[in-house]
């Protein structure tokens, strides 16, 4: 996967912290209607209560987009492409099934910013094709590439694709 993403050019490998302060996670309320985080909270360190709870992040938007805001100052800073592999913990699944979906898993995430929607759309399709090739050619898992319905799309997104 990494080798294929590198072929796109300009992709930075990054690692972001797994713990996020409550205030940072709750900023999502300003952007996503009905946002209610279903996350694990860390409230103690050793024998001491923490002054502010930290969430075990379920995804990275909350931590990556402030990074983008600080790094992108002009059009010359674009495109910005970030890739990471990270462990996440999710609680939205009430009865996880081992080997299909657990609460904790490794996640590959790409986040990008472009000067135009056309550039972003082109990158989405290129990455979707990479996923498809990795699943089918390397792992021998057949996939269907598709655009998710409005009900399924990522909150706040114009559209979401999947394999």
pLDDT in tens, 74-124: 999 999 999 998 887 777 767 767 666 677 778 888 899 999 999 999 999
For residues 156 and 32, the model is more confident at 156
Task: Give the pLDDT of residue 89.
Answer: 77
Residue 3 to residue 13: CA distance in whole angstroms: 12
What are the residue boundaries of the structural domains of the chain, listed by start? 14-115, 116-163
Quick one: average pLDDT of 115-134? 95
Q: Which residue has the tokens 């021998």?
A: 140
Q: What is the pLDDT, as a whole number, of residue 45?
A: 94
- 19: CB partners within 8 A, 6+ apart: 42, 54, 55, 56, 57
61 vs 119, which has greater pLDDT? Answer: 119
CA angle 116, 150, 83 (to 5 degrees): 50
Alpha-carbon gap, residue 132 to 156, rounded angstroms: 25
Which residues touch 131 (CB under 8 Å, ≥6 apart)? 143, 163
In CATH, which of 3.40.50.1000, 3.30.450.20, 3.40.50.2300, 3.30.930.10 is domain 14-115? 3.30.930.10
């Amino acid at each position: 996967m990494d080798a294929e993403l590198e072929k796109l050019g300009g992709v930075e490998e990054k690692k972001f912290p797994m713990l996020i302060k409550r205030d940072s996670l709750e900023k999502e309320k300003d952007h996503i209607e009905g946002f209610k985080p279903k996350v694990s909270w860390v409230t103690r360190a050793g024998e001491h209560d923490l002054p502010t709870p930290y969430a075990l992040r379920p995804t990275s938007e909350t931590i990556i987009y402030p990074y983008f805001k600080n790094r992108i100052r002009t059009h010359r800073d674009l495109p910005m492409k970030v890739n990471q592999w990270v462990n996440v913990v999710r609680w939205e699944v009430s009865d996880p099934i081992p080997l299909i979906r657990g609460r904790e898993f490794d996640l590959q995430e790409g986040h990008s910013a472009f000067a135009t929607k056309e550039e972003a759309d082109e990158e989405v399709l290129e990455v979707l094709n990479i996923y498809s090739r990795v699943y089918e050619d390397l792992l021998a898992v057949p996939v269907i590439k598709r655009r998710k319905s409005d009900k399924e799309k990522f909150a706040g997104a114009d559209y979401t694709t999947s394999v």
